[in-house]
Amino acid sequence: MTTPTHSYPGPAGGPGGGDPAGGPGGADPGAPDLLGPGQPRDMDEPPKGGSFLGYLLRKLGGALTSMILVVVLGFFAFRMLPGDPVLKIAKERPMSPAQIAELRSQYGLDKPVIVQFWDYLVGIFTGDLGESYVYRKPVSALIVDYLGPTLLLTATAAVIAIGLGLWLGQLSAWRRNSLFDKVASSTSLVFWSVPTFWLGLILLMIFGGTLQWLPTGGMITPGLDPWSFAGIIDVIKHLILPVITMVAVVYAQFLMVMRASLIEEMSEDYLTTARAKGLTEDEVRKKHAVPNALLPTVTVVFMHIGGLIAGAVTVEAVFSWPGLGKLTFEAISGPDLPLLQGTFVVFSAIIIVMNLAADIVYRFLDPRVRRA
């Protein structure tokens, strides 16, 4: 009779433990419930209880698996799928058989696949990503040079898009079906329905071409010192159009998620209690409803950071912003496969790390999962 008939979800053991439905790695926590309420035993909900260490290890394991997949995919996509890259180059410019053989040994293509894969793995862990066909420079050096501008651009855009999206989203939800809500929702729908690069071209056309208010490309006027006052102002001027483009396309998603999440929250009893206490509508919204609605939103926001970084590819191509996106664009037009492989692995690594960070931040934000 001492045997418990129900197994309560007790604290999870080591890595891979967690809730019974979760399985190893689990899923990313609480993505917005697109299907409405009433989904029993969904693995997507954050594992309740469980030690922080177990959670952390599980998430780390997940991120590590993704990273391994990226590395393997990077090898197979670029070394296996295109056939012989040297033959591809030879097709585009005339080469003698001797030159072809030299290129093959230069890129290590005359070795067996397993050896090539091993060399590639060793290369990745030692920061050697091969040499760019077009630039004739090591890919890793190029990436280091171009990483900063991309981080500047995407971070600025992310901060503005998140702030704007969440703020407009909660206002929309609170005044549901008002004129403000309708305008905000339909504007974001329109922005969501256009290709990022087209929006960039339009802005470029209006503010760069016709009005000539802002520079049409690059990051800084040549010859200016980026750390001087005039230089910083100049960089900001160059930053305005690409940032607006990225924000316009991304904030809509944040707005919709925040709106849906707050609407879900608005029928809850604790808001009636808050009103009965005599709080004003603004206080009810800011102090009670929004903090709770923010919780599921945060994860979605972080999950979309990946999309934001991918959007950088076209935005940087349109505005000639000297970042990883432009490097990718040049690698495509090359075609410069080692460079493309490098940017793919680095982009993916950034996104996976951001996602891992989101999972950890979420753990600290949600009091229900933090208690353990």
Partner 1 sequence: MSDKPTTAEANASAPNAGTTPNATTAEANASASNATTASARQTPVIDGAKLVRERRLNNAKKNWSLFRSDIPALVGAIVLVFFILIAIFAPLIAPASMLDVTKQLDVPRYAPPSFAHPLGTDDLGRELWIRILWGARVSILVGVAATVMSMVIGTVMGLAAGHFGGFFGAIVMRIIDFFIVLPSLLLAIVLSSVLERGVFTIVVAIGLTSWASTARIVRSQTLSVESRLYIERARILGAGHRHILFKHMLPAVMPLVLANTTLTVGSAIIAESTLSFLGLGDTSKESWGTILKNSMDISAATSGYWWYVLTPGIAILLVVLAFTMVGRAFEAIINPALRSR
In angstroms, the CA 316 to CA 217 distance is 9
The least CB distance from residue 18 to partner 1, in Å, is 11
According to DSSP, the residues that pair with 138 across neighbouring strands are 131
Stretch touching partner 1 by CB under 8 A, among 64-72, 110-118, 147-155, 224-232: 64-72
- Quote the CA–CA distance of 6 and 262 in Å, as a whole number: 35
- Please tell me whether residue 14 binds partner 1 under the rule CB under 8 A: no
Kindly provide the residue ranges of all beta strands, DSSP E only, lying in 167-303, ordered along the sequence: none
Based on the shown chain and the rule CB under 8 A, indicate whether residue 197 belongs to the binding site for partner 1. Answer: yes
Rounded Cα distance between 129 and 123, Å, is 6
Does 12 participate in binding partner 1 (rule CB under 8 A)?
A: no
In the complex, what is the shortest distance from the CB of residue 316 to partner 1, in angstroms, rounded to a whole number? 11
Q: How far is the CB of 116 from partner 1 (least distance, A)?
A: 16
339 binds partner 1 (CB under 8 A): no
Burial per residue of 176-209, b for 16 or more beta-carbon CB atoms within 10 angstroms, e otherwise: eeeeebeebbeebeebeeeebbebbbebbeebbe
Fill in the per-residue mask, 232 to 251: x = in contact with partner 1 (CB under 8 A), - = not in contact. Answer: --------------------
**CB of residue 90 vs partner 1: minimum separation in angstroms?**
16
Options 40-48, 136-144, 224-232, 292-300: segment touching partner 1 (CB under 8 A) = 40-48
Q: Which stretch binds partner 1 (CB under 8 A): 7-15, 20-28, 100-108, 138-146?
A: 20-28
Taking CB under 8 A as the rule, does residue 34 contact partner 1?
yes
- Interaction with partner 1 in 154-193: which residues (CB under 8 A)? 189-190, 192-193
Applying CB under 8 A, among 138, 208, 218, 231 the residue interacting with partner 1 is: 208
Residue 2 C-beta: closest distance to partner 1, Å? 29
Provide CB contacts within 8 A for 158, sequence distance 6+.
250, 305, 308
Least CB distance from residue 228 to partner 1, whole Å? 27
Q: Is 31 a binder of partner 1 (CB under 8 A)? A: yes
**Mind spelling out the 3-state secondary structure of 301-340?**
HHHHHHHHHHHHHHHHHHHCCCCHHHHHHHHHHCCCHHHH
Across the chain, which distance is largest between two alpha carbons, in Å?
86
Residues 123-126: contacts with CB under 8 Å, at least 24 apart = 124/71, 124/345
Shortest approach of partner 1 to residue 279 CB, angstroms? 25
Candidate ranges 48-56, 90-98, 228-236, 336-344; the one touching partner 1 (CB under 8 A): 336-344
Alpha-carbon span 345 to 354, nearest angstrom: 14
DSSP characters for 134-193? Answer: TT-SBHHHHHHHHHHHHHHHHHHHHHHHHHHHHHHHHHHHHTTTSHHHHHHHHHHHHHHT
Site membership for partner 1, residue 252 (CB under 8 A): no
Find the binding residues for partner 1 in span 348-367 (CB under 8 A): 348, 351-352, 355
The only residue of 332, 357, 360, 372 in contact with partner 1, by rule CB under 8 A:
332
Dihedral angle at the C-alpha atoms of 179, 184, 189, 191, nearest 10 degrees?
140
Q: Which of residues 301-320 bind partner 1 (CB under 8 A)?
A: 303, 306-307, 309-311, 313-314, 317-318
CA 359/CA 303 separation, integer angstroms: 10
Q: Looking at the DSSP assignment, which residues form a beta bridge with residue 131?
A: 138
Q: Which stretch binds partner 1 (CB under 8 A): 71-79, 129-137, 152-160, 271-279?
A: 71-79
